[in-house]
Amino acid sequence: MADDRLIVALDVSTMDAMKEIVTSLGDSVSFYKVGMELFYAEGAKTIRFLQEQNKQVFLDLKLHDIPNTVRSAMSVLRTFGIDMVTVHAAGGVEMMREAKKVLGDQAKLVAVTQLTSTSEEDMRDCQNIQTTVSESVVNYACKAKEAGLDGVVCSAQEVKLIKAATSEDFLCVTPGIRPAGSEIGDQKRVMTPQEAHQIGSDYIVVGRPITRATDPVAAYRAIKAEWVNG
């Protein structure tokens, strides 16, 4: 049985590659993430295909622009019937509020805080944010909550702090999940599925450890077992 709190990331750039993954995973997976690479390459037909397979769709485009532009973009995205979508918290409260106003309750709107590939050194040097990563993430989460969003995208490392600063029902969607012993790739702030469960993540997002596995179904089931029974 699929677990709709375990989202599989479709980090590919063609419909054929996407269909191969979805077909190979079959009924095991009910929730997929479509990111920029796939959406920019193939467009809304990726979403339609997944919906035809009775899958939920997390559209991860990380909208970040002036409030009017994001509002206009979200008015288009809401017509796709997606289940979850992202904006960047760095866009500010007004931008996030406008996006939520357009989207309403049609889908969950979550704000990206700091990417799980961002180290504290990167953040201080490139963004000139002279706090800890955790402090920056919690601040963004509080601003997302103020704007009326449903939650944030964050590292599992920050979940407890975010819940304490916002509320227990404020969603924490956590990428950067890697099974123990697996390669972390370009991620820096990672956790295992078991650790994410124990720390209170509401959703986990896993891509390459499943989609590039020799046996994707077995990989999914192993991660699901660790996540559910953590």
3-state SS assignment for residue 226: helix
Q: Which of 158, 159, 212, 217 is nearest to 182 (CA)?
A: 212
160 flagged as catalytic: no
Question: Which residue among the candidates 55, 62, 108, 163 is catalytic per the annotation?
Answer: 62
CA distances from 9 to 40, 95, 104, 170 (A): 15, 26, 25, 22
User: Distances in Å between the alpha carbon of 183 and those of 39, 154, 179, 191?
Assistant: 26, 20, 9, 12
Helices (H) and strands (E) in the chain, counts: 11, 8
Task: Tell the residue number behind the tokens 């590659």, with chain if given.
Answer: 17
- Which single residue is written with the structure tokens 């819940």? 163
DSSP secondary structure string for all residues of 112-140: E-S-TT--HHHIIIII---S-HHHHHHHH
> Tell me, what DSSP letter sits at residue 191?
B
- Just list the catalytic residues: 62
